[in-house]
Amino acid sequence: MLDRLQAQSPDALLALIKLYAADPRPDKVDLGVGVYRTGQGDTPVFAAIKAAERKLVDEQDSKAYLGPEGDMGFVEALMPYIFGAEDPSMGGRVQGMQTPGGTGAVRLAVALARAAGIRRVFMGTPSWPNHAQILADLPLDMVAFDHDNDDGTANVDAVLAAIANAQEGDAILLHGCCHNPTGIDYTPEQWDAIAAALATSKALPIIDVAYQGLGHGMEEDAYGLRKVLASVPEALIAYSCDKNFGLYRDRVGAFYVMAKEPGQLDAIMSNAASLARANWSMPPDHGGAAVRLILTDPALTTMWLDELDTMRARMRQVRDRLAAAGTAGAVDMTPLGIQNGLFSMLPLSKEQIATLRSEHAIYMAGSGRINVAGLTSGNIDKFIDAVAAVSA
């Protein structure tokens, strides 16, 4: 039976990691992997996480199962940061559970939407590649619309048209902030228009929040999500702590439901728990427990937020430097200055990207996506000059 299986194409990003690792050139630059890096090129463990882990070692007295819902203290501690401190439960209409990373949260959100009768999902493209893979695997039909314009701004007309065309049984998948892969976010005014359109639409919003705090701040990056939730009767939210707590390999995420009425949550969450049980049974606990300890200890919370501020400021400095370069060959770098988060996309061909790799030791995704955190004061001028050389 197993000999019937056809070989699948290797993941392009994983292949890029191997190529980078095998390159002996000392000045090589990795702009592919989606992790934060310091100005020295490191991806350190947060000091706040280290402190929380020490507390776990000293205080945790069991590794027994927690159940498919995971660490509910972690889930509840996150809610004020996501939904707002005044009423994080939105009048008792919001409930959540822990998931294996943001990927698990997206998977669970889409699976629950399917179980509830959703058959089509509208999604702006380009998007995180795994979004489309999850939709295809379940399977659900994807209806694509253009996320961005040629000038590096968000195509709000396209998302509004998608919302207007949505019917009963449709959902719309939106990035909450720091769009992956483009870095192009909706402005507050555009979020206002999106929320107003969703208020009269039959579409179910599914909002993926994977980078809160890496754009303009924890509160600022939650604006779009909160505006939508204030305008619609129900929604599904996928959340990741992998980036804003630096817990990439620990896979720390959460899934939330906002229901029409508080009394509906028990039935909804019982379905979510059943789906989770069939997929991963129980989520990993260690990273979620560390986040819970941080968010319930004021000193650790302050330490974490300070570290997040430092990350955000460094990425903003990189973006400002790229924008200040203006045009590098045929590539206009100025839009990168108003984009957010780890990623942006450059209008380079696959051949130009291959030349960057072979002649300049610069590694980036074949789509043109770069991780701006891979740029430092020591390599950013080399990068700008190389882009100019291959695109002239």
Catalytically active residues, by annotation: 128, 208, 243
Query: What is the distance between the alpha carbons of residues 345 and 370, in angstroms, rounded to a whole number?
Result: 6
Query: Which parts of the chain fold into alpha helices (H)?
Result: 12-22, 47-59, 72-83, 101-115, 129-137, 156-165, 188-199, 218-221, 223-229, 265-279, 286-295, 298-324, 350-360, 380-391
* Number of Cβ within a 10 Å radius of residue 219: 13
Question: Residue 139 class from Cβ within 10 Å (0-12 exposed, 13-18 middle, 19+ buried)?
Answer: exposed
Query: What is the distance between the alpha carbons of residues 196 and 273, in angstroms, rounded to a whole number?
Result: 32
Query: What is the distance between the alpha carbons of residues 227 and 308, in angstroms, rounded to a whole number?
Result: 24
Query: What is the distance between the alpha carbons of residues 287 and 109, in angstroms, rounded to a whole number?
Result: 21
Question: Residue 192 class from Cβ within 10 Å (0-12 exposed, 13-18 middle, 19+ buried)?
Answer: middle
CA angle 158, 164, 168 (to 5 degrees): 130
* Number of Cβ within a 10 Å radius of residue 20: 18
Query: What is the distance between the alpha carbons of residues 282 and 295, in angstroms, rounded to a whole number?
Result: 22
Residues 6+ apart with CB under 8 A from 208: 102, 105, 106, 128, 131, 173, 174, 175, 176, 238
Query: What is the distance between the alpha carbons of residues 360 and 353, in angstroms, rounded to a whole number?
Result: 10
